[in-house]
Amino acid sequence: MAPGLDFSDWGAMETRKGTPVVVKMDNPNYSVVEIEDPDAAFRPVEKSRGKNAKQVTWVLLLKAHRAVGCVAWMATLFWALLGTIKKRLIFRQDVGMASEKLGKGKLLFTVIKAFLVISLTILAFEIIAYFNGWHYFQNPSLHIPRTSDIQGLFHLVYVTWLWFRADYIAPLIQALSKFCVALFLIQSADRMVLCLGCFWIKYKKIKPRIEGNPFKSNDVEGSGYDYPMVLVQIPMCNEREVYEQSISAVCQLDWPKDRLLIQVLDDSDDESIQCLIKTEVATWNQRGINIIYRHRLIRTGYKAGNLKSAMSCEYIQAYEFVAIFDADFQPNPDFLKQTVPHFKDNPELGLVQARWTFVNKDENLLTRLQNINLCFHFEVEQQVNGVFLNFFGFNGTAGVWRIRALEESGGWLERTTVEDMDIAVRAHLNGWKFIFLNDVKVLCEVPESYEAYRKQQHRWHSGPMHLFRLCLPAIITSKIAIWKKANLILLFFLLRKLILPFYSFTLFCIILPLTMFVPEAELPVWVICYVPVFMSFLNILPAPKSFPFIVPYLLFENTMSVTKFNAMVSGLFKLGSSYEWVVTKKAGRSSESDLLAAAERESKTTNQLQIQRGASESELIELNRLKAAPVPVKRVNKIYRKELTLAFLLLTASVRSLLSAQGVHFYFLLFQGVTFLLVGLDLIGEQMS
């Protein structure tokens, strides 16, 4: 039997081993054969280890199944979206129109509608011109016939439009786009510097520290630490869902009872809620907690007026520090022991601010996106400014103030809806320093509905611009250093409160759609795609678990620029809504520790009976009736007209970009338009399954 010949190793680069054998044969096709060892010719041929046809078929079928499943999922999602559009826009089932109370809001809506009508008209005209070949007149190398040579009125109008667009419209859009791109780059550079500062803090492990253990006594006769008198304030207004857990958390603070006073500052106008809060305060008072209930008869000035009224009490003079918690905040028992000692031996320190953490951050897509923004705000903005500048904007809650710093800075003023930022700026102008504690976290809630989030963002962006108008003269005439004045005016107010919503709305919601109809003013791809994605990547770094939401985050931030721009204009020009305060609706989410504490309280029935011994049976029945869970009200979704109009504007521009084969622009406009559509239909805050 002839030996088997294997030619598979002829191209191998390894050094050959074995004895070469020369075989002469009559057939010239086989003249030389190299056998690597004597037994090589007689070894059985190994079966191929590659996949056989059956395995390849199964792999292909599996991939096809996954692809079909993905397509089916996208089709189902698209069909559900169409069904929601039909239900909410056409049949108006369980929907209500978002009110446009002010002329400014109606004016902005009218401007957006005008842009939409113009874009639809131009798109229809562009489609007619495209299919008739008129678009070739854009080529400057071709001869454009004279008017007398052109047959057809529409052809004449199109050529006139090309001329007018190139000579008059394009230069204006180019100038505005260059200005917005410059602002965009400046703001991106600011974000980069903040992120680098955060990396440096992490690398060097820089953070405020308490020297020694102030609560450990080395002196047998001494106490080791003189606990200062601390006042805790809980301002609230109609907070039925969260008042109980907030008061409970504050009353469990680990601090000597004779050195602590808790003020529940209730501005509720609902008598049933007032009764519930009074009863809760009385319950903790009978447990030995030094807590009092205050209700204003004249409810002016919103939260600032409430705090100002509370600080006017005579007994406040005995207290050195004041801690403030909004109604949905639940501090840990050791909160005061982690914050108050920083004031010791630091007479210039006026504020210690703690970080927020959210009990409902995974509730739906809206809460996840808010968590990204707020994590960046606290871990990057607040921490970097606190370490390198000793100044940042007070967050209004979860902070401890030195009462003398409040008094010397003018106290709480009712002139804006951002009383926290107002007092922080005035304290900074008076030379007080701030500390931010990133390791001290206080549980709270973020809004779960777009309506609540929209109103919150309106207040947070109109108030700073209103405050900027009021405090600009004080900043200029203050005695602080020039670089501190520049930081306040250029960075703190203009760049982060005014420029950000302005360029985001103008660049991505107005200029980008217009450039699809005016290609002479086209925006470069790096402005649309690369830089925004990179900046979104930096924003998500403090919340690494949110990386799968980087694209929705980028699109949603551009969508929210409409509300932020609207609010910024109202605050800057002191329009009616600049002093509008709507209490953010809470859901009353409880953390795991809250549930355990509630279970523990339920088990102590004996103590409960002793506390309620003084109440009559009728009073207990009435209290239980008030505490009963309210009947769930069917949610009515809102229809937001500005967002819907911008959605159709962006989708129209995406069709135009498809005609001109602009791939990146098409996808960006399409996805941004769909995001505006989801927000306009109030789908962004739907509960996750």
Residues involved in catalysis? 267, 420
3-state secondary structure labels for all residues of 542-586: CCHHHHHHHHHHHHHHHHHHHHHHHHHHHHHCCCHHHHCCCCCCC
Whole-number Å distance between alpha carbons of 109 and 295 = 40
Q: Specify which residues 265 forms β-bridges with.
A: 235, 294
DSSP alpha helix (H) spans, 206-301: 243-251, 271-286
Element (H, E) at 683: none
Where residue 359 falls (left for φ over 0; alpha for ψ -120 to 50; beta otherwise) is alpha
Residue 152 phi, psi dihedral angles, 5° rounding: 110, 130
Instruction: Compute the half-sphere exposure of residue 50: CA atoms within 13 Å on the CB side of its CA.
Output: 4
* Cβ-Cβ contacts under 8 Å for 665 (sequence gap 6 or more): 512, 515, 516, 523, 528, 654, 657
* Cβ-Cβ contacts under 8 Å for 3 (sequence gap 6 or more): 35, 41, 42
**CA 309 from centre of chain:** 33
Nearest residue to 354 (alpha-carbon basis) of 228, 439, 422, 425: 439
**CA 91 from centre of chain:** 32
* Cβ-Cβ contacts under 8 Å for 574 (sequence gap 6 or more): 466, 469
Whole-number Å distance between alpha carbons of 318 and 431 = 24
> 628 is written with which tokens?
């009963």
Identify the residue whose tokens are 């010949």: 5
Q: CA-CA distances (angstroms) from residue 454 to 91, 126, 331, 451?
A: 25, 36, 26, 5
Q: Specify which residues 322 forms β-bridges with.
A: 231, 401
> 403 is written with which tokens?
């009462």
Residue 25 phi, psi dihedral angles, 5° rounding: -135, 160
Strand, coil or helix: what is 278? Answer: helix
